[in-house]
Structures are given as structure tokens and as C-alpha cells.
């Protein structure tokens, strides 16, 4: 198979066709105009495809034809140069998608009557048409390009990615961290079970992991987390970018930016994200997830104020959203719709989301919180030193177990030690649930007057 690719305004439409036929192509001819921008685009394609060919040990020979699109003579020479590589015109496929209009017409007129195949790619339906003298047939693209390969074909180097395994390993912990502990995240972050793993990661990274876990069961083709790239524009010029979450569906590469903030310069961020769209894909959709209390205000857009950041974002296919923590199902439907993933059942998907098995009893959870608040407020403690496992021992009435040495060492105030001792004694003497009001009353009667 001989594939001719004509570089135009949306050159990434060349890549799905190249990837679809990569195992059949023997010769790849890239035709481009002598305009500077077209030369730069062609260099990215040729370097990216050559890197891919070498890595996958494919037997594909690549050639570049540079021409003046507005010259009839140059177009005739292009036809002659292509003919030199052809043995049977039935093996010739000419991709004129988004290419140079004049060249596409002249090449088609020259080679279609001889039996060649004229190919066009519909990037919105992710399918291609093949026009011959006898027929016009449509075919669905079978192979979705993996994200790393998509970037490689555009001569973009993936420098690093975040560990998806970490996000999945601590899914339950991350769900609990963001959805359950509204006011006590710093305390929870020090829980021994998760201390080492969570303390090493800034909360912004943890938020990316949490968002990834919400989306990982949707109907995408590929997903990457925390992607740092080096976009090589020439031998000496490159751009560095970082993407929180990239998601590929039907050869469309989309992006989610995670900002765990309640205050954000949305205008500056919109300009920044719009500037990196070419690196991703010309028709990429971008979602910004923040920690805003209101999830979305799209229904409140004032049509008389054209410069509002939210309205500007919608015009650029950049969607600003608040925190999904309290509307997980809405958020997942949102991503599914904007990225056109066509997931079958979001509600059913959520059934597989890891529950909070660490704290299943709401009453028990509330009592843990109550003990912490009590110790902080009533006894004027500046630091919440309590280890949740130590509280568990009290709540589960396992009074034979003593507090750990580490916890005791952290207690500088003798009143705390005395209080815990009396709480343990009380729990030994009764099997009933003791409210903190009862504990505090006991504290007032037996400790406060003696300290």
C-alpha cells in the first residue's frame, strides 16, 4: 500500500489514517506547501512517524514532497513524483482530508481514473470514505490511537506520567479523604495506614487521583494521569506542558484540568488552556474541575455580557466546573456528554465505586469527630494529636488495650491523660453508648475540680 498524505490546516487528521493502515503501508509520501507553517507541521509529522516506525520495527519508507500549492506546474511535478513509486494504482491511497485544495483536485483527476483510491477522513464520526471510479464506501476506524502514540506521531515526547496504580491502590482512602472528611483532612492524612503514601503527595495531586478514580470506569479508549510533555517544534525549540488527565475517545484527545481551589483567575487559565489545544488536538474539549461550592452556573449566563469568563470558555469548548464531590453522578454524566464517551450506565458504574468501608457506621464516625472537637475546644488543645486507631479502641470498648507510647508521648497536658483514663474506666463499667455530654459531665465532676 502507498499512502499519500497532504498536509493542510488540521494536519492531525493524517494520523488516524496512518495508524489505521500502519501494517499495510509500504510507502508513505507526505505532500506539503512551501509556506513556513506547513513546513513546520510537516517536520513534526515526519519526525513523529519516523520515530513510531523505528520503535515498532515497521517496514515503511517515508518521502516528503515540497511544492507551491498555487503553481499548476508544481502540481504536475507532484503527480510525476508520486507515479515513480507506483507499480499498481489499486495500491495507491491518497488522503486529501484537510489538505491543499488545488493539489487534492489535481491529484484526484490524475490518479482516480487509473484505479487509485481517494480517501477522506471524517474526524467527527471517526470514519473514512474511499472514492474510486466505481464506488464511494464508508468505513469505521477500527484502531483508536493510544495517547502516548498520538503524541509521539506529532513529535511530542512524554517525559513522565503519574502512577495510576497509586490512585487505584488508595481509591477508598482518596474517596474518604475528599468526600467524607470536609474539615479534618489534615488529621486523616496522618492516619498511620495512609501516612507515608499521602504525606508524600501534595493535596493537588491527591485531587487528580480522586478525579481519575471517578472517571476510570467510563467508556474511553485510553486515559493518562499527570502527563508532562516536551513538544518539539524544531531541533532547538520546544515547549513543555503538563496535563492533569488526558482521555482519548475515537481518536479525539480531551483534557481535564484539576484545580483544588475555591478562588481562581479563570480568565488567565482559559487563555492558557486554549493556547495548548493544538498540542492536544484541534477539536479537543477541556474541562476545568475546581473546588467551587457551586458546580456549574452555565444556566445563569448573561447573554448581554459577552466577556464573561464562563461564556468565553464555552465558546472555546473549555468547560468550567466546581467541586464534583457532592454531585459525583452529575459530574460523570457531564464528562461523558462533553467527551462523547457514550458510557452505558453511569448509575450502574457508580455501584463499582469503592465504598467507605473504613468508617461504615455514621454514628461512630460522628463520635470520633465529637471526641476530637471536644479535646480541641473544651481543653484548648492547639494540636489534634489523636490517632484514629486509638479512638477506635475506645469506641469498640477494647479496654484491655492501652494507648500507644507514641500517643502518650504526644500528650503534653496531664488533663488529657487523666481524661482518657477515666473514659476507659467508664467504658469498662458499662456496655451502653456514652455520649460526649455524659463523658464531659463525668470529667467536670471527677477531674476538673482536682486539676
Cα torsion 155, 10, 334, 353: sign: negative
DSSP string, 215-260: HTTSS-SEEEEEEEEEEE-SSS-EEEEEEEEEEEETTEEEEEEE--
Q: Is 250 in the same domain as 164?
A: yes
Tell me the C-alpha distance between 302 and 418, whole Å. Answer: 61
Task: Give the separation between CA 147 and CA 256, rounded to whole angstroms.
Answer: 14
- Please tell me whether residues 15 and 114 are part of one structural domain: yes
Q: What pLDDT shows up at residue 200? A: 66
Say yes or no: 263 and 402 in one domain. Answer: no
State the distance between the two ends of the chain, measured CA to CA, in whole angstroms.
91
Residue 265 inside a domain? The answer is: yes
Co-location of 407 and 310 in the same domain: no
In a domain, 37, yes or no: yes
Task: Note the pLDDT of residue 19.
Answer: 95
Tally of domains in the chain: 3
Positive or negative CA dihedral for 122, 124, 22, 50? positive
Instruction: Quote the pLDDT of residue 27.
Output: 96
Instruction: Count Cβ atoms below 10 Å from residue 402 Cβ, excluding itself.
Output: 11
What pLDDT is attached to residue 204?
Answer: 83
| Residue 13 falls inside a structural domain | yes
Res 182: pLDDT = 54
Please identify, among 128, 143, 158, the residue that sits at the C-terminal boundary of a domain.
143
pTM: 0.73
In a domain, 410, yes or no: yes
Per-residue exposure over 257-287, b if at least 16 CB sit within 10 Å of its own CB, e if not = bbbbeeeeebeebbeebbebbebbbeebbbb
Q: Are residues 131 and 63 in the same domain?
A: yes
Is there a domain that residue 355 lies in?
no
Distance from C-alpha of 381 to C-alpha of 43, rounded to nearest angstrom: 64
Residue at a domain's end among 77, 109, 143: 143
Residue 435 is assigned to a structural domain of this protein: yes
The single-letter DSSP state of residue 402 is P
Residue pair 244/258 in contact (Cβ under 8 Å)? The answer is: yes
- Among 298, 315, 350, where does a domain finish? 350
313 inside domain: yes
Same structural domain for residues 114 and 45? yes
- 416: number of CA atoms within 13 Å, CB side? 22
C-alpha–C-alpha distance, residues 347 and 344, integer Å: 9
Residues 239 and 301 in one domain: yes
Q: Domain containing 290 — which CATH number?
A: 3.40.1350.10
Residues 259, 209 share a domain: yes
In a domain, residue 52? The reply is yes
Residue with cell 513538544: 231
Range of the domain at 21: 2-143
Considering the domain architecture, whether residues 382 and 328 belong to the same structural domain is answered as: no
Q: Are residues 157 and 121 in the same domain?
A: no
pLDDT tens over the chain, length 451 residues: 999 999 887 777 899 999 999 999 999 999 999 888 888 888 889 999 999 999 999 999 999 999 988 888 888 899 999 999 999 999 999 999 887 888 888 999 999 999 999 999 998 889 999 999 999 999 999 888 999 999 999 999 999 999 899 888 888 778 877 877 654 455 455 554 555 566 667 788 889 999 999 999 899 999 999 999 998 777 777 888 899 999 999 999 999 999 988 877 887 888 888 888 777 877 889 999 998 888 887 766 655 555 566 777 777 888 989 888 878 889 999 999 999 998 888 877 777 666 544 333 444 455 555 555 555 554 444 434 344 455 444 444 333 445 455 444 544 445 555 665 555 555 455 444 445 445 555 555 554 444 4
pLDDT confidence of residue 419: 60
The three-state secondary structure class of 104 is helix
Q: What is the dihedral of CA 242, 208, 311, 338, to 10 degrees?
A: 100
Q: What is the pLDDT of residue 415?
A: 55
Statement to judge: residues 300 and 205 lie in one domain: yes
Q: Coil, strand or helix: which one is 319?
A: strand
Q: Which CATH number fits the domain that encloses residue 88?
A: 3.40.50.10770
Q: Is the dihedral of CA 395, 401, 406, 408 positive or negative?
A: positive
Note whether 328 and 419 are same-domain residues.
no
Range 392-399, long-range pairs (CB < 8 A, 24+ positions): 392/368, 394/420, 394/423, 394/424, 394/427, 395/364, 395/367, 395/368, 397/427, 397/431, 399/424, 399/427, 399/428
Residues whose CB is less than 8 angstroms from the CB of residue 352 and which lie 6 or more positions away in sequence, other chains included: 217
Residue 438 CB coordination number (10 Å): 13
Amino acid at each position: 500500500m502507498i499512502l499519500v498524505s497532504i498536509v493542510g490546516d488540521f494536519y492531525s487528521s493524517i494520523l488516524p489514517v496512518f495508524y489505521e493502515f500502519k501494517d499495510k503501508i509500504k510507502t508513505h509520501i507526505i505532500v506539503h506547501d512551501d509556506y513556513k507553517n506547513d513546513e513546520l507541521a510537516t517536520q513534526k509529522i515526519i519526525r513523529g512517524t519516523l520515530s513510531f516506525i523505528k520503535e515498532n520495527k515497521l517496514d515503511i519508507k517515508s518521502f516528503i514532497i515540497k511544492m507551491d500549492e498555487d503553481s499548476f506546474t508544481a502540481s504536475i511535478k507532484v503527480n510525476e513524483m508520486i507515479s515513480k513509486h507506483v507499480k499498481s494504482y489499486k495500491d495507491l491511497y491518497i488522503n486529501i482530508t484537510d489538505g491543499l485544495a488545488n493539489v487534492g483536485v489535481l491529484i484526484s483527476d490524475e490518479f482516480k481514473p487509473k484505479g487509485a483510491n481517494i480517501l477522506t477522513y471524517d474526524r467527527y464520526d471517526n470514519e473514512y470514505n474511499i472514492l474510486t471510479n466505481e464506488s464511494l464506501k464508508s468505513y469505521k476506524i477500527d484502531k483508536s490511537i493510544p495517547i502516548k502514540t498520538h503524541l509521539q506521531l506529532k513529535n511530542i515526547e512524554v517525559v513522565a506520567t503519574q502512577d495510576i496504580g497509586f490512585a487505584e491502590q488508595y481509591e477508598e482512602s482518596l474517596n474518604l479523604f475528599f468526600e467524607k472528611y470536609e474539615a479534618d483532612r489534615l488529621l486523616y492524612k496522618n492516619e498511620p495506614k495512609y501516612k507515608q503514601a499521602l504525606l508524600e503527595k501534595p493535596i493537588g495531586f491527591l485531587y487528580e487521583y480522586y478525579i481519575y478514580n471517578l472517571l476510570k470506569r467510563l467508556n474511553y479508549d485510553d486515559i493518562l494521569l499527570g502527563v508532562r510533555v516536551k513538544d518539539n517544534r524544531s531541533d532547538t525549540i520546544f515547549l513543555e506542558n503538563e496535563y492533569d488527565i488526558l482521555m482519548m475517545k475515537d481518536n479525539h484527545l480531551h483534557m481535564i484540568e484539576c484545580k483544588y481551589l475555591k478562588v481562581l483567575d479563570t480568565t488567565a487559565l482559559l487563555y492558557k488552556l486554549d493556547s495548548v489545544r493544538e498540542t492536544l488536538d484541534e477539536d479537543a474539549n477541556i474541562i476545568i474541575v475546581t473546588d467551587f461550592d457551586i458546580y456549574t452556573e452555565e444556566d445563569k449566563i448573561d447573554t448581554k455580557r459577552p466577556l464573561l469568563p464562563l461564556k468565553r470558555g464555552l465558546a472555546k469548548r473549555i468547560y468550567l466546573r466546581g467541586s464534583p464531590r457532592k454531585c459525583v453522578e452529575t459530574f460523570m454524566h457531564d464528562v461523558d456528554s462533553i467527551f462523547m464517551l457514550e458510557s452505558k450506565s453511569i448509575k450502574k458504574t457508580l455501584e463499582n465505586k469503592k465504598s467507605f468501608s473504613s468508617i461504615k457506621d455514621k454514628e461512630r464516625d460522628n463520635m470520633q469527630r465529637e471526641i476530637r472537637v471536644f479535646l480541641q475546644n473544651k481543653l484548648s488543645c492547639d494540636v489534634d494529636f489523636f490517632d484514629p486507631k486509638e479512638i477506635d479502641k475506645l469506641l469498640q470498648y477494647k479496654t484491655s488495650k492501652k494507648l500507644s507510647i507514641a500517643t502518650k508521648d504526644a500528650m503534653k497536658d496531664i488533663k488529657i491523660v487523666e481524661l482518657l483514663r477515666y473514659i476507659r474506666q467508664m467504658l469498662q463499667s458499662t456496655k451502653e453508648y456514652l455520649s460526649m455530654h455524659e463523658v464531659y459531665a463525668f470529667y467536670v465532676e471527677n477531674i476538673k475540680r482536682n486539676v
